[in-house]
Amino acid sequence: MNAIRKGLSALALFVLSIPLLAQTTPPASPKVVVITGNRFSYKIVQEWIDEYSKLKPDVQIIIEARGSNDPATFQILAEVYEPEEALKNGREYINVGRYAVLPVATTNSEFANYFVEKGLEEDLLKQIFFNDIYADKESQAKIEAPYTVYTRLQKAGVPFVFAKYFGYQQKDIKGTSIAGADEHLVKALLRDPNGVTYLPLTLIYDQQTRKPIDKLTVLPVDLNGNGKINSEEKIYGDLDKAIEQLEARSQDDIKNVPIEYLHLSVDKKTATPEAIDFLKWVNENGQRYLHKFGYLRPEAKYFEKEKFKEFAAGHNR
């Protein structure tokens, strides 16, 4: 009888311990993918993450903001300018979309009121934004309206692309240098009633109203390069109209508007299956979100959809 009681007691203890064992068993570690890169791309990247997570909730994808350097560990790099050859050779890229860079000024300034009508052709753009020791000062236009140019302090994608397009380097851009991200440049500009700078469409417009953000005016430029600005080139009152007009033109035919690609990449050798799968999803679905955030669709000749699919298939074998 005692043996039976002891057996029943042991059985009861075992049964009672089952919930405790279940509670103390550690959960499976989530699969984490870290993305870093250019800050102004984070909004659309987060949208992609949110949509992808609905399909793959077991994969945790996070954005780790870049400081003066990239984070110590990351799987996906989001960049907005052509990478150096050494870096490019070791990574697999997708060109997701394009962004355009335009000159802007503080609304209601004398400068904005004048040039929103007159517009800016190439020589004026160079005169306003760049230090050029070889420029013929005597032939330059006389600008009577007061203005202050603002630019980024650190090396960054947008100023790099803007300067390179016009044949300069970032260090040649005139003006007051602002530390921080592109968003800090916007804040500094809006505090100055005579401020002037350059920004990507994604930061110029309010995502909801599709109009330029409060107190910001887009300055029209000479889109066809004929040396003057006509009414057909004043397309910036509405974001969707600006996107439509820019996409309707071949990029090679667009003058005085720097346009560059937003691209995402992974290391060819060390990319994790989760990182590759996310980029594969973006490669196939990401374009549907471009216009919402102010990006242009990629030109067909630079959107190599099948190339990344082949890389993904080969990497998973």
- Which segments in the chain show pLDDT lower than 70? 1-30, 67-70, 316-317
In angstroms, the Cα distances linking 64 to 20, 51, 59, 172, 261 are 37, 18, 16, 30, 21
Question: What's the CATH superfamily of 99-259?
Answer: Periplasmic binding protein-like II (3.40.190.10)
| Same fold for the pair 31-97+262-315 and 99-259 | yes
**Contact at 8 Å (CB) between 222 and 120?**
yes
Question: Could you tell me which residues are beta bridge partners of residue 217?
Answer: 105
Token pair for 316: 């998973």
Q: Looking at domain 31-97+262-315, does it have CATH number 3.40.190.10?
A: yes
What pLDDT sits at residue 139?
Answer: 82
Per-residue confidence (pLDDT) for residue 122, from 0 to 100: 96
Report d(CA 159, CA 86) in Å as an integer: 22
Give the separation between CA 36 and CA 41, rounded to whole angstroms.
Answer: 10
Q: DSSP strand E in the chain: where?
A: 31-37, 59-63, 76-79, 91-106, 148-152, 176-178, 195-200, 216-218, 259-267
CA distance 16 to 14: 5
Angle between helices 305-315 and 273-285 (to 10 degrees): 160
Contact 112, 193 (CB under 8 A): no
Q: What per-residue confidence (pLDDT) applies to 16?
A: 41
pLDDT score, position 314: 79
The 8-class DSSP code of residue 20 comes to H
Q: What pLDDT is recorded for position 120?
A: 97
Query: Residue 145 corresponds to which tokens in the numbers above?
Result: 């309206």
The whole-number pLDDT of residue 70 equals: 67
How do the domains of the chain map onto residue ranges?
31-97+262-315, 99-259
Residues in CB range of 262: below 8 A, 6 or more apart:
38, 41, 44, 78, 79, 80, 95, 96, 97, 98, 99, 295
